[in-house]
């Protein structure tokens, strides 16, 4: 049995380990393992065409959670639009239905995995976790139906991050410039802190980082 199947079975065991108790470690492991089962299932199929085991392993490391999630979300939207207003005919309809199931489940499962692993404020319950593992089991079934189809192969090919996709992602969600840290400030002339910047002749406040200006204002308000 493949690793992904083992991992999914382990997730189910963890989810049902304590049916009458909200045993957080088991439930969190269940969610995390279930997500990773789907993650490895897709990657395993994506690199399966590569004959050399060493190269296959290196290729598998190229896959990343965020870009895979983006591909899944794009696929979900694309398929949703494909079905409206008129769904495609068979067998396209069945294939896209299963692909939608896989992509949507992957996106949901990844968020749950992050909550399970990092959000300790969230408390999980046995039935709740069971209801989150079950769609992943269902996504496995969907994937086994379509894994050899061209649409599924195209879906896999679109998953590894490329330079173009990274640039597109950066363009789609421009990140704010990080605010300067103390380490940044240390690289600059800190004498203004001691002499008072407003007293320096010809001082150009726009050339200072925002943090410094905020600090200057703060100090002026405090009268220091």
Partner 1 sequence: MGPESGYSPHLSALSGGRPSITRDNEVMYIAKAFAQQAQFFGAVSPLSLPPRVVSLTPTLGTDWNGNEAVFFQVVLADNAVPRTQLLAFTKQISQSIVSRLNPNEEWGVWPYFDFITQSEQARMKQPTWA
Single out the residue of 26, 32, 96, 110 in contact with partner 1 (rule: CB under 8 A). 110
Q: What count of other Cβ atoms lies within 10 Å of the Cβ of residue 166?
A: 11
Q: What share of the chain is helix, strand, coil (3-state, %, to 5)?
A: 70, 0, 30
Cβ proximity to partner 1, 6 vs 77, nearer residue:
77
Whole-angstrom Cα distance, residue 196 to residue 203? 11
Q: Which stretch binds partner 1 (CB under 8 A): 35-43, 91-99, 104-112, 149-157?
A: 104-112
Q: Which two tokens stand for residue 104?
A: 């949507």
Site string for partner 1, 26-55 (x = CB under 8 A): ------------------------------
> Contact, 169 vs 115, CB < 8 A?
no
Q: Which stretch binds partner 1 (CB under 8 A): 28-36, 127-135, 149-157, 160-168?
A: 127-135
DSSP E strands, the chain: none
Whole-angstrom Cα distance, residue 25 to residue 13? 13
Nearest distance from residue 21's CB to partner 1, in Å? 10
Q: What count of other Cβ atoms lies within 10 Å of the Cβ of residue 23?
A: 16
Q: Does 108 bind partner 1 (CB under 8 A)?
A: yes
Q: Does 64 bind partner 1 (CB under 8 A)?
A: no
> Contact, 17 vs 26, CB < 8 A?
yes
Residues at the interface with partner 1 (CB under 8 A): 22, 66, 69, 73, 77, 80, 107-108, 110-111, 114-115, 118, 123, 125-128, 131-132, 134-135, 138, 173-174, 177, 198, 205-206, 210, 213-214, 216-217, 219-220
């Amino acid at each position: 049995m493949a690793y992904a199947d083992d991992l999914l079975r382990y997730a189910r065991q963890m989810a049902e380990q304590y049916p009458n108790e909200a045993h957080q470690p088991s439930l969190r492991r269940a969610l995390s393992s279930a997500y990773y089962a789907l993650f490895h299932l897709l990657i395993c199929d994506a690199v399966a065409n590569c004959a050399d085991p060493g190269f296959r392993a290196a290729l598998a490391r190229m896959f990343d959670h965020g870009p895979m999630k983006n591909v899944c979300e794009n696929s979900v939207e694309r398929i949703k639009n494909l079905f409206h207003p008129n769904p495609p005919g068979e067998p396209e309809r069945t294939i896209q239905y299963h692909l939608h199931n896989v992509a949507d489940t992957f996106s949901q499962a990844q968020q749950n995995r992050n909550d399970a692993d990092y959000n300790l404020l969230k408390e999980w319950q046995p039935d709740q976790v069971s209801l989150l593992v079950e769609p992943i089991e269902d996504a496995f079934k969907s994937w086994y139906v379509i894994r050899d189809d061209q649409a599924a192969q195209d879906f896999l090919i679109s998953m590894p991050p490329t330079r173009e996709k990274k640039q597109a992602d950066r363009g789609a969600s421009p990140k704010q410039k990080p605010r300067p840290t103390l380490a940044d400030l240390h690289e600059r002339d800190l004498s203004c802190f001691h002499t008072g910047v407003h007293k320096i002749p010809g001082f150009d406040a726009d050339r200072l980082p925002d943090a410094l200006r905020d600090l200057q204002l703060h100090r002026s308000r405090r009268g220091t």
